[in-house]
Amino acid sequence: MVHQLTFVRKTGAEFISIFDDLAALRIAVFRDFPYLYEGKIAYEKEYLQTYANSERSFLFAVYDGSKMVGATTCIPLTDETAEVQAPFLQAGIPLDRVFYFGESILLPSYRGLGLGHRFFDEREAHARHFGTYAMTCFCAVERPIDHPLRTSDYQPLDVFWAKRGYSKRADLQSNFEWLDIGMEQPTPKKMIYWTKTQSPNGATHPA
């Protein structure tokens, strides 16, 4: 299947050209556990505007024909929202040394093709080429083990992330608010950050 896929890279204001494709993909993928996100296009475009406003933001997208089937993004932490920056400020970590990784999403039928590793490779290479960022990070939602909508086949990605060199940081947390499927009002969700540091010679190790 990989041979039929095409890859697209966008930076900064170029994000505007893929707003509709990326918004639709985010809504489709994040509807599943553990995010259970009841997405709205209007909110999606507001969220994506943060990336369009950042000169150093980056998108790597996967297309099958004209359909976006996977995508990943990243952005300097200095250009992210206050809720993302807050735990790093509280921990005394300089924002201008951190590159934040946003979504990494694939439609189910395109998983298992190695694209998850490709997403990390692309984002880490983008952050590294600036030569000023000492840390890359992302966050993931924490859901209760006994959550009623947890599916029997759900597999957390913790092992995969650890193999990529990321460490789970219980000391770095944010609360993001969104509307769960089947709910009437948005509720806050605990997000835990995973980090990896990068040395000046390009070698990496868990933060």
pLDDT tens, position by position, 25-59: 999 999 999 999 999 888 898 899 999 999 999 99
What is the per-residue pLDDT for 198? 74
What is the per-residue pLDDT for 200? 46
Total of domains in the chain? 1
Taking Cα atoms as reference points, which of 37, 107, 111, 126 lies closest to residue 69? 107
Regions in the chain scoring below 50 on pLDDT: 200
Q: What angle do CA 22, 96, 93 make, to 5 degrees?
A: 105
Owning domain of residue 120: 2-206
What CATH number corresponds to the domain at position 191?
A: 3.40.630.30
